């Protein structure tokens, strides 16, 4: 795999690391150099040096860069898919879909840039004759925050990694990006980084706009989040990892925002009417969502709430049957597989929990067997451990006595990325009564679907109250993700010669503007 050989030479064995094929438990060549502290500092300095030029590019030029990156990723061809397969254990179809999502996301941000509303241009005209005091000419636009540190996620080696959603939205905003690649897929990361560097070259832009740093430990990420040139962090991963980055970021001499997407069990609420009409079908469909991609999604339905009774029993039986027939799947890494096994064991050995079904066992390394477990609402409420996320295809059905108890469970759970309603017409008044509570708890509310499969579009919200994310006012999927990396600046009575293009009097970039409070 000479095409992913790192350009830097290794000085010693312990300054390099290799990916592990999770399906074999074996190291994959080549070795990748581990970025040391000096490399982090130098990389961030170069990102800062590229910042002023990059942020002031015309929107069309940054859009062209994003499109060029998409094209270069496609040009990597099958070697990218093959390498990602071997590093992640994910199947070809999934990775091809993920590649399409990655390039589609880059092109969506390119369109957004050309539409121009992201710049938030707002103009208050001067009122020299106003009494008692004249009003100055005030012009606001949004500028990029500065270099952004992006932490690649293990579970989306393409769409939430080196050129994923955080990188696309930060570059779109005008922020240089330094990616800390996830150590599970360094070869995939290196290939995509090469595509980005090729696109920068082709567009005549400085290489400092983007960098990939790699390494297996946590020192690298900690140094990156602490670097004074870094002005924001994008992270998708564990709660512990997100909180550690927050602690670093908040206690720097200059604190910076961290956009961490961390932990969610994505409750599914089974309403009585829906259960009465289609309990068995719901049970099967639920297992489909649960076991997709070995359950390794942030939006995996890890918690099901229903009213105890024959219909819930039928749902449960159907789910258990479907799940018992699902083949085990290779998980993303040995570490993730081990954590999954520990989580399932903790649940299944809990006094108040019964294990209903397990997926088919199979030979092979790091194979995750789906797990279906059940408890009752009183037990669930009594032990917070039962509400913690187990990353993988494990899910807990919670039997509630009635709607009042179901509501109590929702009141007590932490913030979520999603909450899903399975409803029929007869459930509408019960569901309507819950809606205000659901809005407080989640970033996205779905009806009669499943939370996995997150659309990349303007209306999407992939976010939610803590601990789903560290900042519920944002999303990490969809075009609104760009807003995380922008801040407003106001120009008061500046001569036109000093105004940046977006707020110049003749509007040379033809950006949409809000003038005196109205679009115009």
- 341 is annotated as an active-site residue: no
Asked if 208 touches its own copies (CB under 8 A), the answer is no
The DSSP bridge partners found for residue 505 are: none
Choose between 77 and 488: whose C-beta lies nearer to its own copies. Answer: 488
Among 84, 341, 444, 511, binds its own copies (CB under 8 A): 444
Asked if 97 touches its own copies (CB under 8 A), the answer is yes
Asked if 146 touches its own copies (CB under 8 A), the answer is yes
Residue with tokens 């020192």: 219
Cα Rg for the chain, rounded, in angstroms?
25
Which of 261, 341, 389, 405 is the catalytic position? 261
Asked if 12 touches its own copies (CB under 8 A), the answer is no
Choose between 12 and 93: whose C-beta lies nearer to its own copies. Answer: 93
Choose between 24 and 494: whose C-beta lies nearer to its own copies. Answer: 494
Closest CA relative to residue 377, chosen from 423, 414, 413: 413
**Mask 100-119, x = binds its own copies (CB under 8 A)?**
-----------xx--x----
- 365 is annotated as an active-site residue: no
> Are 192 and 76 contacting, i.e. CB atoms less than 8 angstroms apart?
yes
Choose between 366 and 470: whose C-beta lies nearer to its own copies. Answer: 470
Q: For 276, phi and psi rounded to 5 degrees?
A: -60, -35
Asked if 246 touches its own copies (CB under 8 A), the answer is yes
Site for its own copies in 290-349 (CB under 8 A): none
> Are 117 and 519 contacting, i.e. CB atoms less than 8 angstroms apart?
no
Asked if 481 touches its own copies (CB under 8 A), the answer is no
The DSSP bridge partners found for residue 519 are: 514
Asked if 426 touches its own copies (CB under 8 A), the answer is no
Closest CA relative to residue 179, chosen from 143, 213, 207: 213
Among 74-82, 188-196, 282-290, 467-475, the segment contacting its own copies (CB under 8 A): 467-475
Asked if 92 touches its own copies (CB under 8 A), the answer is no
Residue 352: CB minimum distance to its own copies, A: 23
Among 197-205, 291-299, 401-409, 413-421, the segment contacting its own copies (CB under 8 A): 413-421
Site for its own copies in 41-60 (CB under 8 A): 52, 56
Asked if 459 touches its own copies (CB under 8 A), the answer is yes
Angle between helices 92-115 and 59-75 (to 10 degrees): 170
Query: Cα(146)–Cα(300) distance, rounded to whole angstroms?
Result: 33
Long-range contacts of 34-40 (CB under 8 A, 24+ apart): 34/214, 34/215, 34/216, 34/217, 34/220, 35/213, 35/214, 35/215, 35/220, 37/219, 37/223, 39/213, 40/213, 40/220, 40/223, 40/224, 40/227
Which of 44, 72, 87, 298 is the catalytic position? 298
Query: Cα(20)–Cα(133) distance, rounded to whole angstroms?
Result: 69
> Are 144 and 175 contacting, i.e. CB atoms less than 8 angstroms apart?
yes
Among 4-12, 218-226, 269-277, 432-440, the segment contacting its own copies (CB under 8 A): 432-440
Among 16, 145, 220, 336, binds its own copies (CB under 8 A): 145
Choose between 21 and 166: whose C-beta lies nearer to its own copies. Answer: 166
Residue 198: CB minimum distance to its own copies, A: 28
Angle between helices 59-75 and 165-173 (to 10 degrees): 150
> Are 294 and 331 contacting, i.e. CB atoms less than 8 angstroms apart?
yes
- Residues involved in catalysis: 261, 298
């Amino acid at each position: 795999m000479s095409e992913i050989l790192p350009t830097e030479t290794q000085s010693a064995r312990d300054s390099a690391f290799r990916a592990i094929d999770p399906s074999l438990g074996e190291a994959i060549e080549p070795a990748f150099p581990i970025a040391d502290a000096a490399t982090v500092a130098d990389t961030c300095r170069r990102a800062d040096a590229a910042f002023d030029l990059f942020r002031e590019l015309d929107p069309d030029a940054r859009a062209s860069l994003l499109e060029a990156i998409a094209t270069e990723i496609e040009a990597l061809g099958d070697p990218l898919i093959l390498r990602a397969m071997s590093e992640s254990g994910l199947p070809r179809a999934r990775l091809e879909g993920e590649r399409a999502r990655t390039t589609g996301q880059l092109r969506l941000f390119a369109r957004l840039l050309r539409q121009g509303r992201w710049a938030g241009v707002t103009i208050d005209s001067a009122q020299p004759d106003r009494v008692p005091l004249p009003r100055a000419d005030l012009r606001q636009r949004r500028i990029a925050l500065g270099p952004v540190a992006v932490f690649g996620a293990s579970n989306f080696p393409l769409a939430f990694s080196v050129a994923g959603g955080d990188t696309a939205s930060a570059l779109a905003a005008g922020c240089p990006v330094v990616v800390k690649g996830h150590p599970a897929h360094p070869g995939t990361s290196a290939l995509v980084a090469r595509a980005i560097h090729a696109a920068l070259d082709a567009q005549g832009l400085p290489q400092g706009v983007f960098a990939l740093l790699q390494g297996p430990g946590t020192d690298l990420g900690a140094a990156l989040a602490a670097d004074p040139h870094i002005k924001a962090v994008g992270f998708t991963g564990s709660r512990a990892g997100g909180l550690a980055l927050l602690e670093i970021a908040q206690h720097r001499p200059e604190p910076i925002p961290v956009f961490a997407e961390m932990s969610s069990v994505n409750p599914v609420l089974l309403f009585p009417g829906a259960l009465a009409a289609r309990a068995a079908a719901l049970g099967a469909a639920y297992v489909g969502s649960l076991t997709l991609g070995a359950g390794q999604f942030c939006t995996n339905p890890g918690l099901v709430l229903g009213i105890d009774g024959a219909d819930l029993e039928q749902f449960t039986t159907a789910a258990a049957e479907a799940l018992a027939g699902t083949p085990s799947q290779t998980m993303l890494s040995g570490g993730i597989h081990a954590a999954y096994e520990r989580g399932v064991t903790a649940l299944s050995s809990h006094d108040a929990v019964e294990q209903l079904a397990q997926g088919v066992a199979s030979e092979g390394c790091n194979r995750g067997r789906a797990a279906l477990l059940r408890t009752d609402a009183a037990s669930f409420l009594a032990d917070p451990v039962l509400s913690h996320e187990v990353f993988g295809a494990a899910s807990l059905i919670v039997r509630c006595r009635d709607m009042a108890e179901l509501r109590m469970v929702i009141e007590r759970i932490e913030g979520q990325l999603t909450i899903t309603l399975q409803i029929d017409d007869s459930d509408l008044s019960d569901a309507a009564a819950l809606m205000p509570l659901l809005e407080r708890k989640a970033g996205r509310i779905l009806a009669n679907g499943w939370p996995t499969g997150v659309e990349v579009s303007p209306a999407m919200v992939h976010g939610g109250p803590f601990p789903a994310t560290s900042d519920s006012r944002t999303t990490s999927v969809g075009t609104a993700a760009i807003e995380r990396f922008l801040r407003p600046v106001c120009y008061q009575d500046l001569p036109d010669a000093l105004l940046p293009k977006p707020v110049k009097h003749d509007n040379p970039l033809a950006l949409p503007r809000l003038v005196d409070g109205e679009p115009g």
